[in-house]
Amino acid sequence: MKLTQYSDLGFRLMMYLAMCTDKLVTIQEVSERFNISKNHLVKISHQLTKVGLIESVRGRNGGVRLALPPEDINVEMVLQATEDDFELVECFNSVSNQCVISDVCKLNCLLDEALEAFLEKLRKVSLADLVGDGRVIEGALLPFPGGVVVKFRNLPARAKGVK
Amino acid sequence: MKLTQYSDLGFRLMMYLAMCTDKLVTIQEVSERFNISKNHLVKISHQLTKVGLIESVRGRNGGVRLALPPEDINVEMVLQATEDDFELVECFNSVSNQCVISDVCKLNCLLDEALEAFLEKLRKVSLADLVGDGRVIEGALLPFPGGVVVKFRNLPARAKGVK
Render pLDDT for B119-159 as a digit per residue (tens, 0 to 9).
999 999 999 999 999 999 999 999 887 655 555 665 554 44
Could A117 and B113 be called an inter-chain contact, meaning their C-beta atoms sit closer than 8 Å? no
B92 within domain boundaries: yes
- Which residues are within 8 A (CB) of B104 and not within 5 positions of it... i.e. 6 or more apart? A136, A137, A139, A140
pLDDT at A154 over 70: no
B155 within domain boundaries: no
A100 CB neighbour count, 10 Å cutoff: 17
Please state the rounded mean pLDDT for residues B24-42.
95
Lowest mean pLDDT among A30-44, A137-151, B27-41, B84-98: A137-151
Share of chain A above pLDDT 70, in %: 89
Please state the rounded mean pLDDT for residues A101-126.
97
Q: Which residues of A touch B140 (CB under 8 A)?
A: 100-101, 103-105
CA A111, A116, A120: angle at the middle one, nearest 5? 150
Confidence category of residue B101, pLDDT binned at 50, 70, 90: very high
Parent domain of B72: 5-140
What pLDDT score was predicted for residue A16?
A: 97
What pLDDT score was predicted for residue A158?
A: 47
What pLDDT score was predicted for residue A54?
A: 97
* Residue B25: strand pairing partners: B64
What pLDDT score was predicted for residue B160?
A: 45
Could B100 and A34 be called an inter-chain contact, meaning their C-beta atoms sit closer than 8 Å? yes
What pLDDT score was predicted for residue B150?
A: 59
User: What is the number of residues in chain B?
Assistant: 163
Query: Which of the residues A73, A118, A135 would you substitute to probe the B interface, choosing the one with the greatest number of B C-beta atoms within 10 Å?
Result: A118
A155 within domain boundaries: no
Q: Which residues of A touch B11 (CB under 8 A)?
A: 89, 107
pLDDT at A122 over 80: yes
Q: For chain A, how many structural domains are there in total?
A: 1
A25 within domain boundaries: yes
Please state the rounded mean pLDDT for residues B79-92.
95
- Which residues are within 8 A (CB) of A93 and not within 5 positions of it... i.e. 6 or more apart? A85, A87
Could A121 and B141 be called an inter-chain contact, meaning their C-beta atoms sit closer than 8 Å? no
Q: Which of these, B74, B115, B8, lies nearest to A108 by C-alpha position?
A: B8
B153 within domain boundaries: no
Given CB atoms, is A125 within the 8 Å cutoff of chain B? yes
B162 within domain boundaries: no
Confidence category of residue B163, pLDDT binned at 50, 70, 90: very low
pLDDT at A129 over 50: yes
Could B87 and A2 be called an inter-chain contact, meaning their C-beta atoms sit closer than 8 Å? yes
What is the gyration radius of the CA atoms in chain B, in angstroms? 18
Confidence category of residue A147, pLDDT binned at 50, 70, 90: low
Helix (H) or strand (E) holding B56: strand B54-57
Q: Give the domain CATH number at B92.
A: 1.10.10.10
Confidence category of residue A160, pLDDT binned at 50, 70, 90: very low
A49 within domain boundaries: yes
Query: Which of the residues B111, B127, B131, B158 would you substitute to probe the A interface, choosing the one with the greatest number of A C-beta atoms within 10 Å?
Result: B111
Question: Half-sphere exposure (CA, 13 Å, Cβ side) for A119?
Answer: 16
Question: Half-sphere exposure (CA, 13 Å, Cβ side) for A97?
Answer: 16
Could A101 and B137 be called an inter-chain contact, meaning their C-beta atoms sit closer than 8 Å? yes
> Using one digit for the tens of pLDDT, what is the confidence trace for A28-46?
999 999 999 999 999 999 9
Please state the rounded mean pLDDT for residues A12-36.
95
Q: Tell me which residue in B85, B100, B140 faces A101 most closely, judged by beta carbons.
A: B140
Could B101 and A11 be called an inter-chain contact, meaning their C-beta atoms sit closer than 8 Å? no
Given CB atoms, is B57 within the 8 Å cutoff of chain A? no
Q: Which of these, B115, A123, A29, lies nearest to A12 by C-alpha position?
A: A29
pLDDT at A150 over 90: no
What integer best gives the mean pLDDT of chain A? Answer: 90
What pLDDT score was predicted for residue B99?
A: 93
A20 within domain boundaries: yes
Given CB atoms, is A100 within the 8 Å cutoff of chain B? yes
